[in-house]
Amino acid sequence: MKYKNLKDVFFASKFHVGKGLATYDKSLDPVVFDQLADMNAVANSEVAMNAVVNSEIAMNAVANSEIAMNAVVNSEIAMNAVVNSEIAMNAVANSEIAMNAVVNSEIAMNAVVNSEIAMNAVVNSEIAMNAVGASNIAIGKLAVGLAGLNPEDYEDMNAVVNSEIAMNAVANSEIAMNAVVNSEIARFALTESSYLQQNRNTIVKTLETGVSKGLFVKYSTVYIDATGKYNSTSNWAPDNTIEPDNSIAIIKAAGPYTDGSNATTRIKHLQNPDVVVFVRSGTVRLQSVDNYVCIGGLIHEETGDSYVRIDGYEAV
């Protein structure tokens, strides 16, 4: 087996791991730790884990070992101790090794989302949020947790977007919307949800609240004429080189550029061009549209000369 660092060599041992921890960190009671042969024994000892999570020295060692963290995230005893300790969660939330273990464990993510201490640590750490956003399990559980639902009821982001209850809750939460819009995995899942457009007017209200709270930046009254790709990366100008980003476009009006002319407007998610969000043919210039939602930006296609007005939002 190839070890990534010296900590992994130690934590991989089947002998004297507890004793070694107590030797390394003099605050740990050798009477408790000397009898714990390996990291699994430590992780499954309530007494030992309560000591570890209240020691910066011990927790920094555990959080920076893939082997140690694998034992921790697969133990309900260990995770219960970790998520109820500010010392432990600060160490975990600021370690890529630790967060990669957490986001790939349903046990760990359920514990994190149900703990106020753990959630505060995660949402205030760029390292932690990057890890969460890159995991289908983690972002799904985080989203519903932020929206006030029980994360144990949802396996991952796919389960969230296929649940009317979950989508209603996420659409009503500006902090949950911020989290999902900042996750590429979540954004793609949103584009395939039959409940996205059903919640479009709620989403607009939530985005506006998010703007007032500094969670989103708004680009008001953007006019789109040319065919192509648009999002906040291009400052909502046409640019066919851009990739999907943490943007949402809300379609407010569409029609021909010249009143009385005939044109067809076709809008797709930039995040998922296979999904057509809105189509309209007509002769009325900038006829009102009921807030259709585009994820990751938009792709504008036209027959004739189409003209579209949107409001753009970018997650902070």
- What's the confidence (pLDDT) of residue 237? 97
CA 243 to CA 227: how far, in whole Å? 16
Q: What is the pTM of this model?
A: 0.88
Please list the residues that pair with 247 across neighbouring strands.
Answer: 314
78 with 101, same domain: the answer is: yes
Angle CA 89–101–43, to nearest 5: 70
Binned at pLDDT 50, 70 and 90, residue 5 comes out as low
162 with 191, same domain: the answer is: yes
194 with 220, same domain: the answer is: no
Q: Which single residue is written with the structure tokens 């059903």?
A: 198
Of 185, 210, 235, which residue sits at a domain end?
210
- What's the confidence (pLDDT) of residue 13? 85
147 with 28, same domain: the answer is: yes
Q: Report the mean per-residue pLDDT for the chain.
A: 95
Instruction: Note the pLDDT tens digit of each residue in 85-130.
Output: 999 999 999 999 999 999 999 999 999 999 999 999 999 999 999 9
> How many residues in total does the chain contain?
316
Of 160, 176, 210, which residue sits at a domain end?
210
149 pLDDT more than 60: yes
CA 48 to CA 67: how far, in whole Å? 17
Share above pLDDT 70 across residues of the chain, in percent, rounded to a whole number: 98
Q: What is the mean pLDDT of residues 13-31?
A: 92
- What's the confidence (pLDDT) of residue 10? 80
Q: Which residues contact 276 (CB under 8 A, 6 or more apart)?
A: 266, 267, 268
14 with 42, same domain: the answer is: yes
Please list the residues that pair with 57 across neighbouring strands.
Answer: none
190 pLDDT more than 70: yes
4 pLDDT more than 70: no
295 with 170, same domain: the answer is: no
Q: In what order do the strands lie in the sheet with 263-269?
A: 228-230, 298-303, 263-269, 276-282
CA 265 to CA 86: how far, in whole Å? 52
CA 272 to CA 177: how far, in whole Å? 18
In-domain check, residue 180: yes
Binned at pLDDT 50, 70 and 90, residue 8 comes out as confident
161 with 301, same domain: the answer is: no
For residue 185, the surrounding DSSP H or E stretch is helix 184-191
- What's the confidence (pLDDT) of residue 267? 98
CA 228 to CA 274: how far, in whole Å? 15
18 with 89, same domain: the answer is: yes
CA 190 to CA 244: how far, in whole Å? 13
Specify the number of domains making up the chain.
2
CA 159 to CA 154: how far, in whole Å? 6
11 with 136, same domain: the answer is: yes
- Give the residue numbers spanning the domain of 222: 216-315
Assess contact for 12 and 67: CB atoms under 8 A: yes
Distance of CA 157 to the CA centre of its chain: 9
18 with 163, same domain: the answer is: yes
In-domain check, residue 1: no
In-domain check, residue 39: yes
- The DSSP code sequence of 198-246 is GGHHHHHHHHHHHHHTTSEEEEEEEEE-SSEEE-GGGTTS--TT----S
CA 78 to CA 41: how far, in whole Å? 10
105 with 202, same domain: the answer is: yes
Q: In what order do the strands lie in the sheet with 287-295?
A: 216-224, 306-315, 247-256, 287-295
CB atoms within 10 A of CB 290: 12
Binned at pLDDT 50, 70 and 90, residue 6 comes out as low
Of 157, 180, 210, which residue sits at a domain end?
210
257 pLDDT more than 70: yes
Q: Where are the alpha helices (DSSP H) in 256-299?
A: none
197 pLDDT more than 90: yes
